[in-house]
Amino acid sequence: MIDLRKAILAKLKTIHPKVYFQSAPELAPFPYLVFDILNIYDDGEGTETATVDVDAWDNSADTTQLETLITSVNAGLNKSTLTSGELTATFYLDTKIPLTDDDPTIHRRKYIYQAKLFRKG
């Protein structure tokens, strides 16, 4: 999972400078991205599939910046192939979810990807 984390982080950092794994610091300035690797399972054919979600967060009343950010994430990640160490992963968009936060001033979007993982060797 470390190689997959590194590949995703490197890619997302080319899109937006504030990217966090699993959770953002409490006082992180908006907007920012949070990604998580929800599961990885063996396909039984020498490959694995990972479910990866990317959440975009913003506290601006106008959601244009948030929508632009998550659209940029999708343009950079969907149908792309990333490599890190012994791992190569190709990402495919699965689901788009507008999330409602407990804090009404925070707006969120979640995109969930399925990634096919191939390991060298």
pLDDT of res. 46: 82
- Domains of the chain, by residue range, sit at 2-119
pLDDT of res. 1: 86
Q: pTM for this one?
A: 0.94
pLDDT of res. 77: 98
CATH class for domain 2-119?
alpha beta
Q: What is the mean pLDDT of each run of 10 residues along the chain (121 residues)?
A: 95 98 97 97 90 98 96 98 94 97 96 95 66
Residue given tokens 């991205």 in the structure block: 33
pLDDT of res. 121: 66
Q: Which residues touch 59 (CB under 8 Å, ≥6 apart)?
A: 30, 31, 105, 106, 107
